[in-house]
Structures are given as structure tokens and as C-alpha cells.
Amino acid sequence: MTLRPRAIEARLRRLQQVVRRLRRYRDRGADQLRTDEDLQWLVERGLHLGCEIVLDVGNHVLAGAFSRTPETYEQILDALATEGVLGAGARAELKGLGGFRNVLVHDYLDIDPERVIAALARAPERFEAFAVEVHRWLATRHP
């Protein structure tokens, strides 16, 4: 597979849209999120989409630039750190992202609203930090 920077950039632009919406939802407050089922659904969808974009970008970078195909979501993030795409701090901040994605997708009957609220508190900044690191890495490869 060939690395396609434009495809990565398109996904990172979409991630920025997700980040903007998540910030708006976060600004409504945890109490409203606990009681408003529609808001809960929006937040869950936004968090899910953000996770998917991060993991999709990671897979694309690893396959296109390093011919690597990790088997798990956490291996994607570990490999990005190993290859220097993500710094240690960003990798640490994203720890558990794959598991959280799986909760949103597969354990939808038992999603804990408090876990969603906790994720929302940190996700916009974590997703943004991921995008910054990928942009930085792309700039070193394709100035």
C-alpha cells in the first residue's frame, strides 16, 4: 500500500469537525448529559467516530509508510509510537482507545454514562493532539 497524505489529511479534517462538536456537547455539562438521551447518543456517536478516525489514520500510516498491519487497535497505537509518528505522551494519552471503541460498538447495551462523560472530558484534546502529531510526522516526510 502507498501512503496517501491527502487521504490522511481528509480524515484529520473530519476529526477536527468531530472535535468541534464534542467540545460543544461537553460545554452543556455532565448533568445534562446524564439526563438527555439524545445528547448521550450524539456524544457516543462523536466519540465512536473520533476513535474510528484515529485508528483508520493509524492503520493507513502504518500500512503505507511502514508496511505494517497490526492485529489489534492498541497495536496500531503502539506501532505509531515505535515508528516515531506519535510521541510517548500522545501514545500514553490514547491508551485504551481501542477498548473504549469496542465498548461503544459492541457493548452498547451496557454503556456506562459516567464512562462516556469521563471520555468526553478528555477526548477533544486527545484527538487534537493525535492530529498534531500526525501532521508533524507528515511534514517531515512530505515537506
User: How confident is the model at residue 18, as a pLDDT?
Assistant: 98
| pLDDT tens by residue, 18-71 | 999 999 999 999 999 999 999 999 999 999 999 999 999 999 999 999 999 999
User: How confident is the model at residue 29, as a pLDDT?
Assistant: 95
User: How confident is the model at residue 143, as a pLDDT?
Assistant: 56
| pLDDT tens by residue, 104-117 | 999 877 889 999 99
Q: How far apart are CA 133 and CA 122, in angstroms?
A: 17
Q: How far apart are CA 78 and CA 14, in angstroms?
A: 23
Residue 81: which domain range? 5-141
List the grid coordinates of 81.
Answer: 509510537
Instruction: Number of helices (H) and strands (E) in the chain: give both, helices first.
Output: 7, 0
The letter for the amino acid at 15 is L
User: How confident is the model at residue 69, as a pLDDT?
Assistant: 96
User: How confident is the model at residue 135, as a pLDDT?
Assistant: 97
User: How confident is the model at residue 136, as a pLDDT?
Assistant: 96
| pLDDT tens by residue, 114-141 | 999 999 999 999 999 999 999 999 999 8
User: How many domains does the chain contain in total?
Assistant: 1
Count of Cβ atoms closer than 10 Å to residue 7 Cβ: 14
CATH of the domain at 47: 1.20.120.580
CB burial readout 33-61, b (16+ within 10 A) else e: beeeeeebebbbebbbbbbbbbbbbbbbb
Q: How far apart are CA 22 and CA 20, in angstroms?
A: 6
